[in-house]
Amino acid sequence: MVSGLTCGKLASWTIAAVLLQILGLSFFMIGFFPVKPTLPGFSGPESYRMPTCEPVLNAQDSELPPEKLRSFYKELSKVPPSYDRLVLMVIDGLPAEFVLGRDNKPPTKTMTEAMPYTQSLLSAGKARAYHAKAEPPTVTMPRLKAMVSGAVGGFLDVAFNFNTQALLDDNLLDQFKRIGWNLVMLGDETWIKLFPKLFIRQDGVSSFFVKDTIEVDFNISRHLDAELAAEDWNLLILHYLGLDHVGHIGGRHSILMAPKLKEMDDVIMMIHTHTILHQRNNAADTLLVVVSDHGMTSSGNHGGSSYEETDSLALFIGLSIENSDSAFNVPMSASQVDVAPTLALLFGVPIPNNNIGVILRGMLDSLTDEQRLRALQLNSWQMLRLLQEHSPGLLCGNLTGIGGDIGLLTNQDVDSTNEKLGYLFSKATSSHNMWLLRQTSDVTSNSNDDLELAVSSYYKFLGNASEWLSHRATDKPINLLLSGIAIMLISCILQLNIVFKLFKEVFIIERKHFSLSKELNQVWHIDESFTLIGILIHVLSLGASSMVEEEQYTWHFLTSTLFLIFLLSVIRSSLKTPASYFMKSNKHENNHPLRKSLSNEESGPTTNDKSSRSKQLHENYQASLILLVLILGRVLRGWHQGGVNWAHLPDISKLLIQTGDFYIKAFQIITLLGLMVLGSFAFSLVRRRISLVYIVWISYFICGFLVLLHIIDSQSNIIGPTYSSVNSMAQIIYICVGSVILFTVFVSPWVLPVDHEVGSVITGLKSSSQSNDMQSSSFLLGVRDCTYLIGTTFTVFWCLLQLLLQQRINDIPVLIVYLQEMASIIYFSSYRTKHRQWVEVAAMYFLGMTGHFGLGNSNSLATIDVAGAFIGISNHSTVLSGILMFIITYAAPLLAFLSMLIYISVKDMNDLLPNHPGLDTLHLMIGFPCLLPLVLNSVVLVAFTIILLLMRNHLFVWSVFSPKYLYLCASTVCVYIGVLIIAFTVVYTRSVLAVRSGVKSSLYTNSLDTKSVSDD
Amino acid sequence: MDNGEIAVSKALALHLLCTLGLAAGFFAAGIAYNLSLVTDPAQTLSFLLVFETPIVVASYSFVRRDHDRPYWEAVSMALFGLPVGALLNALGAIVLGAPVGPKYWISTIYWSCLMSLFTFVPAVCVFGWSRMDWQRIIANSKPKQATDCLVSLPAQGAIVGAWLGAWPMPLDWEMPWQEWPICVTYGAIAGYIVGMILSTVFVHVMKNHPHVKDD
């Protein structure tokens, strides 16, 4: 009890700090990714009435049968539906630039030639096109939601993109269903997830098999003939994924792009000729709407907020457009949400109540002037209702008063924004009334001017309201954010303080033991200062968006430099005179299995000469270990190019994929065999080979064999649904791995023999009696043996699991990360390393993070391996696939944490651990391995939170910084899990062994050991 | 000279010569062939090598520690040390992530030769095979003698400079100089020059307080 730092105190402070961190993090998350107020329920007939200040009681009108409701709406709205049938064709990932060109310039020649029919429609004025700006994040599901509901979701919608759940908010499709429409959906199964029971016919295709560009679209087009001939549907949704897949594979300028556009053009032509041109006389009018959910960057990715990604298309092809006289040739810019109110009014359903879109200009030209104004009025009323939800009391009382002043327009705070919107609304209403008055009073002179005034003032109100509402979605309560940051900062300081105290204590103990050697008295070593500088540089680098995108370089650079510094220190110590080591070398006992077997040649130094020769050997061996880590690290860096900007450059994985299936399979099997050999070697080093070890060993082989079968099996179906045999195989492996690990963790401390003989080897003890020494050392030895077995089980089974789950190309990287961790553990465990423990733990953590990026992960959500998350899951379960996704993504960091168990077991800590059994030594054993990752993560988390706050108006905040923040939160969870596993395993092992030795010793000696039980 | 003392003026002249060599290399490449490091890294690096190699070898061999060794021996050792140091530097760079494609081989070779001139060659010239000297220079982070400063500070400066020079490479500025090994070379040269300035200052300080480092 040197500094009064006890285990319990340490643990409670740490838990407090972690809880604080969670609290602060959730504050910040809630503040930064807000959930904005929305109107519940669906809009019904009340949407055709002027909004009032009293809360609207939902009338039972909406309970009417569909047919009646439809006519009721028709009667109320006074805007007759222009069409009866709608074909909504979604082309995933089509940038509007391909069809409409950019900056008023026509599209490139190849693009024009690829879509001849569409271009002819456009130039003939038979179609109206818009650049529909999509809100980031530009991924499919939020964009579809925006189009059908007119509302903009928050950023966190992305997180649910892969885990789609039914859309419960008001939306067009449900409105259509209410008036008795029949809906048919062909294409992306996201629609089915959004609307599980809505369609009378559906054929969903999965977007997971990104490499397939033909089948996905053929699966839709094969139904077209039948569907176009059928008359039972009112809404036909076609969602083509192929173009997005082409982009993902080859980017915008892929050679597959022009054929794919031609295919889309053929579909448009087919629909147009079948349904619109050859309409049965006076039968249902059909409108074809071609939209894209988002664009793509030149490399074919999407998700961000660049022009290339947000520039999506909205193209309307229908009779009323052909008939309307005003021929717009210049495509207008609009917003993607504008599609929703436009379609609602064109088809005579209420506008969805959370809509922030504005009727597209030019789409209602076929209506009469009165109807146009009525449509705008309905849109305004709906928006006003939503505004009132955001700021209650808006426009109450003075709805008609035009007390507004132009001066108000310049003020920016919320109140005056309200007043400004109120003023604009009143102005629009009054000019509308004015126009109506003029119509009735037959004064025709200024009628056109009045109309223009009314239309423009409605649009002005709508535009302002829409903008304000969409800003509200991204508005952030600064107080919540700041308090979140403050709490996280406090937690971080608390953690730093704990680590510093621990460091001081270790330093004092170290000093006692090494008072002879001079170099250890030096306060800072070069490796320590570099680790600190490296952490600092990493934190600073996160402020630059491209450094966040290319974080893999940062980690590889820092880790390699750290290991180069280790190499330097080995070379340095090999050049030093050997005499200074002689003192130390024979007071260490060589009792640990791993160390013993690996340093057999030097176990008995008797003369100075011999010792120096063995030292030379030993140093060569250490240097070769570090070189192994470095070279493997470079291979890992070359495996996946990674990042965003240079992701297209050649790397080993692309090379391997090109060489073909056979080689990948061969590499997979080689990796598996290598892992089996390494794992067996690791098991063979367990000192006391009791039957338990053999059980684990054998089950390891069985699992390996199962994984081998899985690898051979899964070759045949890379693309396509997973078969049930493969699924059940994977399930068996999960059960095997899980049960073996649980079995080892819980049973091994009870059965592993604790021997009492080895303790006598220890020399150089000062104050305690012999029997206590023996007991304590055998106790510690037992703990370490047990931890070694558990750690080895954890790591090798974890790697097996990764071979099952990871992409096929990632098998060797997994082995590389494993080898790196093991090599560094062997290096650290050799007793002549002079690194402080915290540097070693930091190095292992660094290796884990480098491995995270080495496995092809990046800070973009696009690199998450979704396909792997469904291995062995028979029915769609969000939780299970989420867990699998986490396991795949954080394979390397978690492996680093698991190998820290081995590190704890083989690290020579006899100098640190006082040899009194009553002493509380747990915190010296697991203090750094548990606390340091927490601190490192906490520092990065706090720093990046501040960066995110500062960058909240940055162009890349949604595409770069926010995804990184989600990754950071996930890695925080990863650190918590890792630390929990380490702490639990060691504490459990110690307690069990303490109980066991307590039982034994109470038979013949005193009950000193019970103290250590209570301490744990 | 035997205990590693050296006149400040001598150190200054040595460093000035080395700087001039670099400047002359850049100048010659720019004037005669209109080359710059950004547009033609490999050729410019070869120019730098042509000018810098004789200057470094000749001048550092002149300040060799063991004056009993003949001058030509130091020179030949240096010429032998150049490829060895280049190999070490190239390995270090590749391990830290330098690209290895055939496109970069030539530049990597030239760059590592230049780094060898900054780091390894001076040490070979000055110390030769003396194990004691090598031990001292590697094992101690702080130089204890004047010649140590002369060798180790510019070398450390060049390494740290090159390391720092690699940081802008992943940024998306799309500047031509972000290519390997251009900004790393700039960083190395900048660090080398800073190291030489520091070394001159250290030599001066040591001259005035000869025992400041022995404590």
Q: DSSP letter at A239?
A: E
Chain B residues with CB within 8 Å of chain A CB: 92, 94-97, 100-101, 134-135, 138-139, 141, 163, 166-167, 169-173
The residue that leads in pLDDT, A367 or A350, is A350
Q: Which of A1012, A983, A800 is nearest to A921 (CA)?
A: A1012
**Share of chain A residues as helix, strand and coil, in percent rounded to the nearest 5:** 65, 5, 30
A473, amino acid identity: A
Residues from chain B that touch A630, judged by Cβ atoms under 8 A, are 95
Cβ of residue A638 closer than 8 Å to a chain B Cβ? yes
Residue B24, pLDDT score:
92
Residues from chain B that touch A633, judged by Cβ atoms under 8 A, are 95
Residues from chain A that touch B166, judged by Cβ atoms under 8 A, are 557
Q: Which of A751, A772, A696, A793 is nearest to A992 (CA)?
A: A751
Which of A298, A523, A551, A560 is the best substitution to test chain B (most B C-beta atoms within 10 A)? A560
Minimal Cα distance from A553: which residue of B? B170
CB-based contacts of A831: which residues, under 8 Å, 6+ apart? A584, A585, A588, A595, A908
Residue A411, pLDDT score:
41
| Cα within 13 Å of Cα(A328), Cβ side | 20
Asked if the structure places residue B155 within a domain, the reply is: yes
* Token pair in block for residue A576: 């030093």
Residue A603, class by beta-carbon neighbours within 10 Å (0-12 exposed, 13-18 middle, 19+ buried)?
exposed
Minimal Cα distance from B173: which residue of A? A546
How far is residue A649 from each of residues A640, A641, A653, measured CA to CA in Å?
9, 7, 11
- B138 pLDDT band, cuts 50/70/90, is confident
Token pair 């007793």 is found at: A831
Angle in degrees, CA A955, A957, A962, rounded to 5: 165
Residue A877, pLDDT score:
73
The residue that leads in pLDDT, A671 or A57, is A671
Residue A538, pLDDT score:
95
Residue A1004, pLDDT score:
42
Contact between A980 and A900 under an 8 Å Cβ cutoff? The reply is no
Distance from CA of B142 to the nearest CA of A (A): 12
How many helices (H) and strands (E) would you count in chain A? 37, 8
Residue A955, pLDDT score:
65
Could you tell me the pTM of the whole model? Answer: 0.76
Helix axes A551-575, A608-639, angle to 10 degrees: 170
Minimal Cα distance from B98: which residue of A? A634
Contact between A790 and A748 under an 8 Å Cβ cutoff? The reply is yes
Cβ of residue A526 closer than 8 Å to a chain B Cβ? yes
Tell me: pLDDT of A862 over 90.
no
The 3-state secondary structure of A62-74, one letter per residue: HHCCHHHHHHHHH
Three-state secondary structure call for residue A428: helix
* Token pair in block for residue A504: 């001081």
* Token pair in block for residue A700: 């390891």
Contact between A505 and A914 under an 8 Å Cβ cutoff? The reply is no
Convert the pLDDT of each residue in A735-772 to its tens digit: 999 999 999 999 988 888 766 544 333 333 333 344 55
Contact between A595 and A647 under an 8 Å Cβ cutoff? The reply is no
Distance from CA of A61 to the nearest CA of B (A): 58
The residue that leads in pLDDT, A721 or B179, is B179
Tell me: pLDDT of A408 over 90.
no
- B130 pLDDT band, cuts 50/70/90, is confident
Residue A444, pLDDT score:
57
Which of A547, A581, A624 is the best substitution to test chain B (most B C-beta atoms within 10 A)? A547
A334 DSSP β-pair partners: A132
Distance from CA of A246 to the nearest CA of B (A): 25
Asked if the structure places residue B1 within a domain, the reply is: no
* CA gap A999, B4 in Å, rounded: 68
Distance from CA of B132 to the nearest CA of A (A): 9
Distance from CA of A354 to the nearest CA of B (A): 39
Three-state secondary structure call for residue A183: strand
B170 vs A553, A575, A637: nearest CB: A553
Convert the pLDDT of each residue in A415-447 to its tens digit: 677 788 888 888 888 888 888 888 777 655 566
The residue that leads in pLDDT, A136 or A464, is A464
* CA gap A659, A682 in Å, rounded: 33
Mean pLDDT, chain A, integer: 80
* Phi, psi (deg, nearest 5) at residue A603: -75, -20
Residue A603, pLDDT score:
37
Q: DSSP letter at A169?
A: S
Q: Which domain holds residue B74?
A: 8-214
The size of chain A, in residues, is: 1016
Cβ of residue A576 closer than 8 Å to a chain B Cβ? yes
| Cα within 13 Å of Cα(A155), Cβ side | 25
* CA gap A340, A332 in Å, rounded: 17
Convert the pLDDT of each residue in A251-296 to its tens digit: 888 888 999 999 999 999 999 888 777 665 555 688 999 999 999 8
The reply to whether residue A571 touches residue B96, judged by beta carbons under 8 angstroms, is no
Contact between B58 and B13 under an 8 Å Cβ cutoff? The reply is no
Dihedral sign from CA coordinates of A80, A82, A85, A91: negative
Residues from chain B that touch A571, judged by Cβ atoms under 8 A, are 138
* CA gap A863, A943 in Å, rounded: 24
The reply to whether residue A546 touches residue B100, judged by beta carbons under 8 angstroms, is no
* CA gap A334, A293 in Å, rounded: 14
Distance from CA of A281 to the nearest CA of B (A): 59
The residue that leads in pLDDT, B1 or A798, is A798
Asked if the structure places residue B2 within a domain, the reply is: no
* Phi, psi (deg, nearest 5) at residue A127: -135, 150
* Phi, psi (deg, nearest 5) at residue A927: -55, -60
The reply to whether residue A547 touches residue B170, judged by beta carbons under 8 angstroms, is yes
Tell me: pLDDT of A911 over 60.
no
Residues from chain A that touch B170, judged by Cβ atoms under 8 A, are 546-547, 550, 553-554, 643, 645
CB-based contacts of B101: which residues, under 8 Å, 6+ apart? A650
Three-state secondary structure call for residue A520: helix
- B141 pLDDT band, cuts 50/70/90, is low
Q: Which of A20-24, A316-320, A384-388, A752-756 is predicted most confidently? A: A20-24
Distance from CA of A650 to the nearest CA of B (A): 10
* Token pair in block for residue B24: 């002359």
Cβ of residue A722 closer than 8 Å to a chain B Cβ? no
Tell me: pLDDT of A484 over 90.
yes
Count how many domains chain B has: 1
The reply to whether residue A572 touches residue B139, judged by beta carbons under 8 angstroms, is yes
Contact between A458 and A432 under an 8 Å Cβ cutoff? The reply is yes
Give the mean pLDDT of A68-95. Answer: 87
Tell me: pLDDT of A79 over 50.
yes
Minimal Cα distance from B89: which residue of A? A564
Please state whether the peptide bond connecting residue A137 to the residue before it is cis, i.e. omega within 30 degrees of 0: yes
Cβ of residue A571 closer than 8 Å to a chain B Cβ? yes
Contact between B193 and B117 under an 8 Å Cβ cutoff? The reply is no
Residues from chain B that touch A652, judged by Cβ atoms under 8 A, are none
The reply to whether residue A631 touches residue B95, judged by beta carbons under 8 angstroms, is yes
Range of weakest confidence among A224-228, A711-715, A776-780, A1007-1011: A1007-1011
Residue A765, pLDDT score:
34
* CA gap A963, A965 in Å, rounded: 5
A204 DSSP β-pair partners: A187
How far is residue A713 from each of residues A270, A412, A667, A709, measured CA to CA in Å?
42, 64, 15, 6
Asked if the structure places residue B106 within a domain, the reply is: yes
Give the mean pLDDT of A895-914. Answer: 80
Please state whether the peptide bond connecting residue B181 to the residue before it is cis, i.e. omega within 30 degrees of 0: yes
Residue A427, pLDDT score:
87
The reply to whether residue A564 touches residue B135, judged by beta carbons under 8 angstroms, is no
CB-based contacts of A292: which residues, under 8 Å, 6+ apart? A90, A91, A92, A93, A94, A95, A96, A312, A313
Convert the pLDDT of each residue in A942-961 to its tens digit: 999 999 998 877 767 777 88
* Token pair in block for residue A962: 């926010």
Q: Which of A651, A701, A639, A638 is nearest to A675 (CA)?
A: A701
Which of B88, B89, B95, B160 is the best substitution to test chain A (most A C-beta atoms within 10 A)? B95
Tell me how far the alpha carbon of residue A69 is from its chain's centroid: 44
Tell me: pLDDT of A1010 over 60.
no
Tally Cβ neighbours within 10 Å of residue A663.
13
Convert the pLDDT of each residue in A672-714 to its tens digit: 999 999 999 999 888 777 888 899 999 999 999 999 988 887 6
Distance from CA of A726 to the nearest CA of B (A): 39
Minimal Cα distance from B139: which residue of A? A572
* CA gap B80, B127 in Å, rounded: 14
The reply to whether residue B95 touches residue A633, judged by beta carbons under 8 angstroms, is yes
Torsion of CA A930, A932, A934, A937, to 10 degrees: -150
Minimal Cα distance from A647: which residue of B? B170
Cβ of residue A640 closer than 8 Å to a chain B Cβ? no
The reply to whether residue B171 touches residue A544, judged by beta carbons under 8 angstroms, is yes
Asked if the structure places residue B131 within a domain, the reply is: yes
Minimal Cα distance from B174: which residue of A? A645
Residue A513, pLDDT score:
65
The reply to whether residue B134 touches residue A575, judged by beta carbons under 8 angstroms, is yes
A932, amino acid identity: L
Cβ of residue A557 closer than 8 Å to a chain B Cβ? yes
Asked if the structure places residue B3 within a domain, the reply is: no
How far is residue A279 from each of residues A209, A271, A811, measured CA to CA in Å?
38, 11, 57
Minimal Cα distance from A550: which residue of B? B170
Torsion of CA B77, B78, B80, B85, to 10 degrees: 130
Which of A524, A561, A575, A858 is the best substitution to test chain B (most B C-beta atoms within 10 A)? A575
Mean pLDDT, chain B, integer: 87
Share of chain B above pLDDT 70, in %: 94
Distance from CA of A33 to the nearest CA of B (A): 27
- Residue A435, H or E segment: helix A414-440
Residue A643 gets the label, from left (phi > 0), alpha (psi -120 to 50) or beta, of left
Cβ of residue A645 closer than 8 Å to a chain B Cβ? yes
Distance from CA of B114 to the nearest CA of A (A): 20
Range of weakest confidence among A520-529, A761-770, A876-885: A761-770
Tell me: pLDDT of A595 over 50.
no
Residues from chain A that touch B101, judged by Cβ atoms under 8 A, are 650
- For A483-517, the DSSP string reads HHHHHHHHHHHHHHHHHHHHHHHHHHHHHHHTSS-
Interface A–B counts its CB contacts (< 8 A) at: 52
Convert the pLDDT of each residue in A805-856 to its tens digit: 988 889 999 999 999 999 999 998 876 667 888 899 999 999 999 999 999 9
- For A74-133, the DSSP string reads HHHH----S-SEEEEEEETT-BHHHHH-STTPPPPHHHHHH-HHHHHHHHTT-EEEEEEE
Give the mean pLDDT of A196-223. Answer: 82
Tell me: pLDDT of A452 over 80.
yes
Give the mean pLDDT of A38-47. Answer: 79
Distance from CA of B106 to the nearest CA of A (A): 19
Distance from CA of A476 to the nearest CA of B (A): 29
The reply to whether residue A560 touches residue B95, judged by beta carbons under 8 angstroms, is yes
How far is residue A940 from each of residues A856, A889, A954, measured CA to CA in Å?
21, 19, 20
